[in-house]
Amino acid sequence: MVRRYREEVIAFIEVREVAEREEWNALIEGFGGSALQSWEWGEFRSEQGWRPLRLAALEGEGPVGAAQVLLKSLPVPGVGSFAYVPYGPVCKDGFAGLESLVARLSERIAGEGAFTLTIEPRAEEGSPLGDGFEKTNSVQPRCTFVLEVLEDEEKQLAALPKDTRYGVRRARKQGVTAGPSEEVGADLERFMDLLEETSKRQSFALRPREYYRRFMQALPAHLIVARREGEEELLAGAIILTFGEEAVYLYGASTREGENLYASYLTQFTALSVAREAGVLRYDLGGIPCAPVESHPLWGVYKFKKKFGGREERYVGSHERRLKPLRAGIVRAGIGGYYSLQRLRGRGPGPISD
């Protein structure tokens, strides 16, 4: 009876492609979707060989969900393409109708020649996704801390834990200043120097510099920098992405001196001010280990983010449906081998693992 009901629901869902930026972004914002579902993100990823397919799900006369699907063809004739939905699909009234929506989208995406569909909705951990999906390694962080962006700086500071307030004030007393970059081109190069230094200390992989340059040009991204007053060299920096009522902290780095001067505390507090000016209500600290223990390589990152007192959110994570099982199995084995090689080299595969 349950299965028959689900099939009847699916039959009433119409899926159509959206071709206008304003319509798409309004749809995603209305569902409380992530920047990774925005029109701009799809266009940016198209520069790295992904083809965005923006699908709206309609029931009756109104939208009930949406998914920006990123398709990437393999360089082997006839094999087909990956289909990946970063932090999506998104649904009306939360994720109550997610199973039906995903089933309908799967049919549509199979028609695009995809051999596998991977979704990562920000549904609560344990939410059902329907038949045929298997849990896979997450691409986007599955767990994170989220801060409420308050109406003014004074209230924001007062809402922080005592030790974090101390860090913000201590940085200022020691002559550290922070703010949105006024010379993004030059400061971005300095920030990438810091990022490379930090990646060596913490053993995580980086993309080529041109990726970050295009990231800042193509997206609603903000570079926040901290330095001693009157000096050019950076002590710390962060890049945040804003969309709708949400900001997410994506990249951060600091020098050893900056850590001693609490520059990262002031950088994050300033990022909250930048988010407020952009009309943001929630600030995502960009992912944490889901099972934080001292032996985890990102234990230090977890401890730092926890100091800001955010609410922990845990999502269902990445799940894959093999639309063409044989092809999908072969490709998945190849990808697993690549990430195993990365780990042997001491380089993280990218996402924050559980």
User: How do residues 152-180 score in pLDDT, each as one tens digit?
Assistant: 999 999 999 999 999 999 999 999 999 99
Is the pLDDT at 281 greater than 90, yes or no? yes
Residue 244 exposure: Cα atoms within 13 Å on the Cβ side: 22
The Cα–Cα gap between 150 and 29 comes to 20
Over 80: is that where the pLDDT of 227 sits?
yes
Question: Which are the contacts of 170, defined by CB distance < 8 A and separation ≥ 6?
Answer: 261, 262, 265
Contact 144, 312 (CB under 8 A): yes
Evaluate whether 111 touches 145 at the Cβ level (below 8 Å): no
Per-residue pLDDT at 130: 79
Q: pLDDT tens digits for 24-59?
A: 999 999 999 999 999 999 999 999 999 999 999 988
Q: Output the pLDDT for position 113.
A: 85
Q: Residue 45 CA to chain centroid, in angstroms?
A: 13
- The H-assigned helical ranges of the chain are 2-11, 21-30, 39-46, 98-110, 153-159, 162-173, 184-202, 209-218, 256-260, 263-277, 299-306, 325-344
What is residue 273's predicted lDDT score, i.e. its pLDDT?
A: 98
What's the pLDDT score for residue 75?
72
Contact 177, 227 (CB under 8 A): yes
Between 330 and 105, the more confident residue is 105
Q: Which residue has the higher pLDDT, 145 or 206?
A: 145
Give burial (CB, 10 Å; 0-12/13-18/19+) of 173. Answer: exposed
User: Residue 114: is its pLDDT beyond 80?
Assistant: yes
| Structure token digits, residue 206 | 């980086």
Confidence of residue 192 (pLDDT cuts 50, 70, 90): very high
**Domain residue extents for the chain:** 2-140+315-344, 144-313
DSSP track, 29-70: HHTT--GGGSHHHHHHHHTTT-EEEEEEEEETTEEEEEEEEE
Average pLDDT of 126-143? 89
pLDDT score, position 76: 65
| 3-state secondary structure (DSSP) of residue 349 | coil
Answer yes or no: is pLDDT of 317 > 60.
Answer: yes
Residue 5: per-residue pLDDT: 36
CA 220 to chain centre: 14
CB 110 within 8 A of CB 144: no
Q: Is 232 helix (H, G, I), strand (E, B) or coil?
A: coil
Do 305 and 288 meet the contact criterion of CB atoms below 8 Å apart?
A: yes
Residue 78 has pLDDT above 80, yes or no: no
The CATH H-level (homologous superfamily) assignment of domain 144-313 is: Gcn5-related N-acetyltransferase (GNAT) (3.40.630.30)
Distance between CA atoms of residues 170 and 266, nearest Å: 9
Do residues 144 and 313 lie in contact, with contact meaning Cβ atoms separated by under 8 Å? yes
Radius of gyration of the chain (CA): 21
Domains 2-140+315-344 and 144-313 share a fold: yes
On whether the pTM is more than 0.85, the answer is yes
How confident is the model at residue 186, as a pLDDT?
96
Transcribe 104-127 into DSSP letters: HHHHHHHTTTEEEEEE---PBTT-
Question: What is the pLDDT, as a whole number, of residue 9?
Answer: 44
Q: How far apart are CA 254 and CA 239, in angstroms?
A: 12
pLDDT tens, 253-268? 999 999 999 999 999 9
Q: For residues 305 and 161, what is the distance between their CA atoms, to the nearest angstrom? A: 12
d(CA 270, CA 293) in angstroms, rounded, equals 29
Q: Which residue has the higher pLDDT, 82 or 191?
A: 191
Fold of 2-140+315-344: Aminopeptidase (3.40.630)
